Chains A and B, each alone.
Chain A
Amino acid sequence: MADQELDARGLNCPLPILRAKKALNGLTSGQTLKIIATDPGSVKDFQAFAKQTGNQLMESNEAGGEYTFVLKKA
């Protein structure tokens, strides 16, 4: 569904954000990036990341200790 997927499971702050930023650099405007993380802090971090960079946070879900985010590149 998403144009690209990033597995950030097991990574701690700030690595999920840094890896996501890197992955976004490779996408074009309007493409989406799905991130799967296990760091509970990443929920607030991805909200803040989206707000400050203008990339839209389309989805933010939690299930079974895993957090899934979908970012749409600005």
Chain B
Amino acid sequence: MAGKSSKKMAIIATKGTLDWAYPPFILGSTAAALGFEVKIFFTFYGLQLLKKDLNLKISPLGNPGMPMPMGMDKWFPVLGTAIPGMEAMMTMMMKSKMKAKGVASIEELRSLSLEADVKMIACQMTVDLFDFKQSDLIDGVEYAGASMFLGFAGDTDICLFM
């Protein structure tokens, strides 16, 4: 878009949690705004990021680096984070904090990425593995495999695994 001989970026997105949904869409949309040609290859749990109905969650379980509000980490050490309902509560708190701080939602970043012509590729093998249907995923997604990704990635300036 920006004229110039455009740079290229390839990303492999493998995680399906709310926190890990941000890096591929933030970098993808921003790179596109800078004039990069961008392709994101979604595989394994990363496929969740392409679902029409996003229901991404964040879990404090097994994540000692996650800052807990109100000193909750003192009250809920390790095993406490496995209490039923904890995941839903942390997800709700994180989402409201993001909104308060003016952080975009994943839905918004994803549609901005698509609008900016970021190409999204779903790994056909994992789509089959998880019995996903193409109708579960948003429109405009391409379905392909490792060779297709490598064909593009071999030519890129930036290539990231997330």
Given contacts A14-B30, A18-B30, A49-B33, contact A54 B3 (CB under 8 A): yes
Given contacts A14-B26, A14-B29, A17-B30, contact A54 B103 (CB under 8 A): no
Interface residues of B (CB under 8 A from A): 1-4, 26, 29-30, 33-35, 101-104, 109, 112, 116
Contact of A74 among B3, B102, B109 (CB under 8 A): B3
B104 CB contacts on chain A under 8 angstroms: 11-12, 14-15
Contact with B along A38-74 (1 / 0, CB 8 A): 1100000000010011100000000000000000001
Q: How far is the CA of A17 from the CA of B33 in the complex (A)?
A: 8
Contact of A12 among B2, B34, B35, B101 (CB under 8 A): B101
**CB-CB nearest in chain B for A16:** B102
Least CB distance, A28 to chain B, in whole angstroms: 14
Say yes or no: B30 contacts A54, CB within 8 Å.
no
Given contacts A18-B33, A53-B35, contact A13 B3 (CB under 8 A): no
B2 CB contacts on chain A under 8 angstroms: 52-54
Q: Enumerate the 5 nearest inter-chain pairs by beta-carbon distance, A residue then B residue, closest first.
A: A21-B33, A12-B102, A14-B30, A10-B102, A53-B2
**CB-CB nearest in chain A for B3:** A54
- A49-B33, A49-B34 known; 18 new pairs, CB 8 Å cut-off, are A11-B104, A12-B101, A12-B102, A12-B103, A14-B26, A14-B29, A14-B109, A15-B102, A15-B104, A17-B33, A18-B29, A18-B30, A18-B33, A18-B116, A38-B102, A52-B34, A53-B2, A54-B4
Q: How far is the CA of A18 from the CA of B113 in the complex (A)?
A: 9
Least CB distance, A53 to chain B, in whole angstroms: 5
**CB-CB nearest in chain B for A49:** B34
12 A-B pairs, CB-CB below 8 angstroms? A10-B102, A11-B102, A12-B104, A13-B26, A14-B30, A14-B109, A15-B102, A18-B29, A18-B33, A18-B112, A53-B35, A54-B2
